[in-house]
């Protein structure tokens, strides 16, 4: 069992898991527990430090989330982030007020002492570095024993510390990429303040998961739903490593795939997995149930339920299947349901939320606590080809959530043709490998155009290309104008029904990567 170095108590921030992810990058193992975890559960983990996450609530709300105050008596270093900072301030006798201005976005951090007396939390950090703020409350009065160690334009207490008790707090989010030296601050807390020296690697996680899979499955069989994407491919490879021929990989063609994807998936798995792939043609079933449905949440739920129905139908053709494996990742989970704490739901995911009561399978989700980049590392450890590992993410609901409005065959045809042009041009220019995700969205918004001597009234395609590391935050890709022009010209000239192409320049947050 891996030693837990840092415990993160989750107060509901959408960024909570990023804290763990940043520390894992430094080979520091940590676990996330709900904010209300008992002191007994925390002590059982034998951590060397505790981090209190951010959250959407106010410490002065009637149902404010509170931590077991016994953690302050453990003698462990503690770091509070955003809501965690406000929680510490109030718990130790300070005060928090509503800010005159909601501070959201980038801000400059001014370190009060950059010399020999610099706080160990900010050691080697540059003064005036950019940090990411996201709060409407702020600390108004410091508790006894605390002093400011950094300020920002809107806060004299952007970072505070009680050095004698090794308790620190930050108003900003060091875990997000927008905070330029946030990784260094988290490293300083773990290694220089908590004195963590254990090293955690993805190969350790892989070995532990294979062992757990073998113990859970025993002599049973596992049905593994495949999409051909990175996540399900890695799950299938991991399961085959653990249980061999007890794995039954199933690929369901739901009619919502990109152009030529079914054939590509079948070829890739034929070359890279020894277990025979079962392909199910369920196009009519999915499109029939989606007919006339335009609400995005309803689309996702219909697709999720129909996938399960198809898997159950296939399972009845095989004896001894007790488990269903899925490539669920933590970004799916954190955007869908509150798993470890009070995280706010952003959108549901087709493969999150467990199985319906009528389905007699147990779920296996070995990647549920990982991010995409970590999954890719595991895939390479398992020997999967880089061409498979480095594919852009593709959502389980497929093109259904890239069509604004109801899903139908004509719209799917238009979107497929536009999408393949986009991907071809990105690959030819080298930008496919430089970006995290790229796709086209059919807006179902018509506008006037002119083609030749004729007036047109046709649809609009939105091109979305983003740069990211983990998918929890993302910025739009600054593609060269000549590349964008080439993409636009080809889509308009080659795809019937399109006379306008727009480029999405929003980042996440505040937008999400997908449109639905």
474 closest CA partner among 316, 267, 331: 331
Q: Give the pLDDT confidence score for residue 478 in this predicted structure.
A: 97
230 is in an annotated binding site: yes
Alpha-helical (H) ranges within 273-327 are 283-290, 296-315
Q: Exposed e or buried b for every residue in 91-105, given b needs 16+ CB within 10 A?
A: bbebebeebeeebee
Q: What is the pLDDT of residue 335?
A: 53
CA 6 – CA 100 distance, rounded (Å)? 35
State the pLDDT at residue 112.
Answer: 93
CA distance 500 to 446: 9
Res 135: pLDDT: 59
With beta carbons less than 8 A apart as the criterion, state whether 45 and 71 touch: no
Residue 231 annotated as binding? yes
Residue 354 marked as a ligand binder: no
- Helical H runs in 164-254? 182-187, 202-217, 230-243
- The pLDDT value recorded for residue 103 is 59
Q: Chunked in runs of 10, what are the mean pLDDT values of the chain (516 residues)?
A: 80 86 86 90 94 89 89 96 94 84 76 88 92 79 95 89 97 89 95 89 86 94 85 91 92 94 85 82 97 95 90 87 85 53 45 53 86 87 85 90 96 97 97 96 93 84 92 90 98 96 93 93
Q: Which residues are catalytic?
A: 82, 173, 175
233 is in an annotated binding site: yes
Structural domains of the chain in order of their starting residue, each with its CATH number: 6-193 (3.40.50.880), 202-389 (3.40.50.620), 408-503 (3.30.300.10)
How large is the angle between the packed helices 202-217 and 230-243, nearest 10 degrees? 60
- Do 226 and 277 meet the contact criterion of CB atoms below 8 Å apart? yes
Tell which residue, 428, 446, 422, 444, has the closest CA to residue 503.
422
Residue 245 CB partners (closer than 8 Å, separation 6+): 275
229 among the known binding-site residues? yes
User: Cβ contacts of residue 212 below 8 Å, gap of 6+?
Assistant: 366
Sign of CA dihedral 81, 82, 83, 88: positive
**pTM check: above 0.95:** no
CA distance 88 to 51: 11
């Amino acid at each position: 069992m891996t030693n837990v170095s840092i415990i993160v108590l989750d107060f509901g921030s959408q960024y909570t898991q990023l804290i763990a992810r940043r520390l894992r990058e430094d080979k520091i193992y940590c676990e996330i527990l709900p904010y209300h975890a008992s002191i007994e559960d925390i002590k059982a983990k034998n951590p060397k430090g505790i981090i209190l996450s951010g959250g959407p609530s106010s410490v002065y709300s009637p149902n404010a989330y509170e931590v077991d105050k016994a953690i302050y008596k453990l003698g462990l270093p503690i770091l509070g982030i955003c809501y965690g900072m406000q929680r510490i301030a109030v718990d130790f006798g300070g005060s928090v007020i509503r800010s005159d201005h909601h501070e959201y976005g980038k801000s400059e951090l001014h370190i009060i002492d950059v010399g020999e007396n610099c706080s160990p939390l900010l050691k080697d950090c540059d003064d005036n570095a950019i940090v990411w703020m996201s709060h409407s409350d702020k600390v108004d009065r410091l508790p006894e024993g605390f002093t400011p160690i950094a300020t920002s334009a809107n806060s004299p207490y952007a970072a505070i510390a009680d050095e004698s008790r090794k308790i620190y707090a930050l108003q900003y989010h060091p875990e997000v990429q927008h905070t330029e030296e946030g990784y260094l601050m988290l490293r300083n807390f773990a290694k220089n303040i908590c004195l963590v020296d254990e090293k955690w690697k993805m190969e350790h996680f892989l070995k532990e998961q294979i062992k757990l899979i073998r113990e859970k499955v025993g002599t049973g069989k596992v049905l593994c739903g495949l999409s051909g994407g990175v996540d399900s491919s890695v799950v299938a490879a991991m399961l085959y490593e653990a249980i061999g021929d007890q794995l039954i990989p199933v690929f369901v063609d739901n009619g919502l795939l990109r152009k030529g994807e079914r054939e590509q998936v079948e070829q890739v798995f034929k070359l890279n997995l020894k277990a025979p792939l079962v392909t199910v043609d369920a196009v009519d079933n999915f499109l029939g149930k989606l007919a006339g449905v335009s609400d995005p949440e309803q689309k996702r739920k219909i697709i999720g339920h129909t996938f399960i129905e198809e898997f159950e139908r296939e399972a009845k053709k095989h004896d001894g299947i007790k488990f269903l494996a899925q490539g669920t990742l933590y970004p799916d989970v954190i955007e869908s349901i509150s798993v470890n704490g009070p995280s706010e739901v952003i959108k549901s995911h087709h493969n999150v939320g467990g199985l319906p009561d009528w389905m007699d399978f147990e779920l296996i989700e070995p990647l549920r606590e990982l991010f995409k980049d970590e999954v890719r590392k595991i895939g390479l450890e398992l020997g999967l080809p880089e061409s498979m590992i480095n594919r852009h993410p593709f959502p389980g609901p497929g093109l259904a959530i890239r069509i604004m409005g109801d899903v139908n065959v004509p719209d799917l045809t238009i979107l497929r043709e536009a999408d393949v042009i986009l991907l071809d041009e990105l690959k030819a220019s080298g930008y496919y490998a430089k970006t995290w995700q790229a796709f086209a969205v059919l807006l179902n918004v018509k506008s006037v155009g002119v083609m030749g001597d004729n007036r047109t009234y046709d649809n609009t395609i939105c091109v979305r290309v983003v740069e990211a590391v983990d998918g929890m935050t993302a910025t739009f890709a600054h593609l060269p104008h000549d590349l964008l022009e080439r993409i636009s010209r080809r889509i308009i000239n080659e795809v019937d029904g399109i006379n306008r192409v727009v480029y999405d320049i929003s980042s996440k947050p505040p937008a999400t990567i997908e449109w639905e």
